[in-house]
A and B are shown apart, each in its own frame.
Chain A
Amino acid sequence: MSVPIALLGLIEREPSHGYDLKRDYDAYFGRGKPLPFGQVYATLARLARDGKVVPGDAEPGAGPDRKRYAITESGRLEIADWLAEPVEPEPHLQTVLFVKVVLALMLGRSAERYLDTQRAAHLQRMRELTELKRSGGAVDALLADHGLFHLEADLRWIDLTCARLDALSEMVRA
């Protein structure tokens, strides 16, 4: 997740202090990984340097959080471009899942056992996301669903691989 673009988006929504940005980022995008304040201010400084945001006049009070940042035209353009750009629809084949299966087969170890264990871990995570979806709000559900569909795709791959292990094993060990 790109922190700068998310903060920029939050600023486009409404001019904000660093504190507001951190709070909203954590609420919408953080998902249990709160953004450190230091990173908020460092990012704001960079966005300001690049002309994407402008700080307002310092407001009375102490600490670094006296400025309210507003988006610039160039910042708005950046958001528009970013939203217009699809994410690379990359098949994540070269992931550790794949490497584990191929290595297991190569070494004559049980790939099936690994895949079964992986399936159980995937399903446990899916149960957690389902629970989150049932107990949380609409935004939680949106994110949980994305995770669920991705894990499901992995599981399909796991099932198919399981069904093909004998043939795969012959090829890898040939």
Chain B
Amino acid sequence: MTAPHPVVPDSEDCLIEARHALLSFGATPALQGASVRVGAGEILAVMGPSGSGKSTLLHCLAGILTPDSGEIHYSGRRVDTLREQERSALRRDHFGFVFQFGQLVPELTAEENVALPLLLGGARRGDALREARGWFGQLGLGGLEQRRSGELSGGQAQRVALARGLVARPQVLFADEPTGSLDSLTGEQVMELLVAAARQQGTTVVLVTHEARVAAYADREVIVRDGTVRSMSTHRVGS
């Protein structure tokens, strides 16, 4: 029953790493030397106060933003020095994303939304839709395949987004407040599904959340404060 104590991965066991990342938006420093390691297959929660730099860090790890200085590594490759085209291919082929709001394409049906990463990856439309439909049952969304995002509740849309994040079986799922707009029970269901799917597929997850109950689904947490990362797993009490 007891969850094992978290262990910070060694440099060689880690799949993603930020080394001393600095990034400013104009005069606003968002990351001020953030370093973090994410192990392969690990579910890591990124916590911390609002404005501390969590989303910025996530975007840097996912190759969406490039730090002004410092390094981002993924699977032994340096990511921050890649050209935008290569980073975009990396994101498409290796990463999945779930964000808090407004992520479904309103013109598409729910199943088309889920199929999107497969279509972008070059799958045939029929195959992509068949694969996408397979997710609806296990996420409790059976019957909603043809709805558009405006016709889904917040919790349903969030589960559709989760399916879209996972459908291409990414190496890494980046989730920024995936339960942010949901009530406790629905948020819990989304986390159950996220964790079960990630474990089953061996997907590594970087999960930004300010909710401790959500973070408790992760293997380990780090705290971002003032643009730097503090790992708490090194000094622990009790045990």
Contact = CB atoms under 8 A, between A and B. Distances in A.
A16 to B, nearest CB: 28
B3 A120 contact: no
Nearest to A158: B212
Interface stretch (B31-39, B57-65, B215-223): B215-223
A130 B236 contact: no
Nearest to A160: B49
B1 A123 contact: no
A155 B216 CA distance: 12
Contacts of B212: 122-123, 126, 151-152, 155-156
Q: Which label, helix, strand, loop or mixed, suits the secondary structure of the B interface? A: loop
Nearest to B234: A120
Interface string A146-161: 0011011001100100
Q: Which of B6, B212, B217 has the most CB of A within 10 A?
A: B212
A123 B236 CA distance: 11
B73 to A, nearest CB: 26
A124 B236 contact: yes
B232 A119 contact: yes
B interface bracket (residues with beta carbon within 8 Å of A): 20 to 34
Contacts of B233: 120
A128 interface: yes
A128 B237 contact: no
Given A116-B223, A163-B49, A124 B5 contact: yes
Nearest to B192: A134
23 contacts: A116-B223, A117-B235, A117-B237, A119-B232, A120-B232, A120-B233, A120-B235, A123-B212, A123-B216, A123-B232, A124-B6, A124-B236, A126-B215, A127-B218, A128-B2, A128-B3, A130-B216, A132-B1, A136-B1, A149-B213, A151-B212, A155-B212, A159-B49
Contacts, number: 66
A116 B221 CA distance: 12
Interface of A: 116-124, 126-132, 134-136, 148-149, 151-152, 155-156, 159, 163
B236 A119 contact: no
A148 B213 contact: yes
Given A121-B237, A126-B213, A152-B213, A131 B1 contact: yes
A68 to B, nearest CB: 34
A54 B232 CA distance: 55
Contact of A121 (B211, B219, B236): B236
A30 B56 CA distance: 46
A125 to B, nearest CB: 9
A117 B3 contact: no
Contacts of A124: 3, 5-6, 236, 239
